[in-house]
């Protein structure tokens, strides 16, 4: 057998680490919401603009124009919004096989969001889950 026959099993070791960037840098995948927040993880098919966006708005900043989260009508700190996004993302990966296939293509990509690199971001949840899946794949465990 050639090395090509084992390509699916080697992809994680050969793929560079997924990273997150903010404005002005080069990127591969835009993970922001679209259409004023209406296009997000819950309401957008994979690969369409907004498909990885966090439906939970961060409402802790004083300068925000949004008083409440449009998805659940509550106020969220940055940590809460990212935690809620991670829960939604894990559920989507369990029950949406089309989404899972496209999500796995994010390995090694640079993700773009408007959050500062110093701020916690839903992109960090994406990277965390990608890295967990990579480790599970290396051990031969189901994801």
Averaged pLDDT for residues 117-130: 91
Ranked by mean pLDDT, the top range of 35-44, 107-116, 123-132 is 123-132
List b or e across 30-46, with b for residues whose CB sees 16 or more CB atoms inside 10 angstroms.
Answer: bbbbbeebebbbebbee
- Partnered with residue 111 across adjacent β-strands are 20, 29
| CA-based nearest residue to 15, from 108, 106, 128 | 108
Is the pLDDT score of 31 beyond 70?
yes
Q: How far is CA 67 from CA 38, 63, 71, 77, 116, in A?
A: 16, 10, 12, 12, 21
pLDDT per residue over 6-30, tens digit each? 333 333 344 445 566 666 667 888 8
Query: Does residue 109 carry a pLDDT above 80?
Result: yes
Q: Within 13 A of 127's CA, how many CA atoms are on the CB side?
A: 18
Average pLDDT, the chain: 79
**This prediction's pTM:** 0.78
């Amino acid at each position: 057998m050639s090395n090509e026959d084992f390509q699916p099993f080697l992809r994680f070791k050969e793929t560079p680490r997924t990273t997150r960037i903010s404005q002005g840098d080069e990127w591969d995948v835009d993970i922001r919401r679209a259409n004023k927040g209406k296009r997000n993880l819950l309401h957008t098919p994979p690969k369409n603009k907004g498909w990885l966006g966090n439906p939970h708005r961060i409402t802790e900043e004083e300068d925000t124009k949004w008083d409440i989260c449009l998805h659940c009508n509550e106020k969220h700190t940055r940590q809460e919004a990212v935690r809620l996004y991670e829960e939604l993302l894990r559920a989507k990966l369990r029950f949406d096989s089309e989404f899972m296939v496209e999500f796995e293509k994010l390995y090694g990509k640079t993700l773009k969001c408007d959050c500062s690199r110093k701020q916690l971001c839903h992109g960090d949840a994406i990277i965390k889950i990608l890295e967990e899946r990579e480790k599970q794949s290396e051990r031969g465990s189901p994801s």
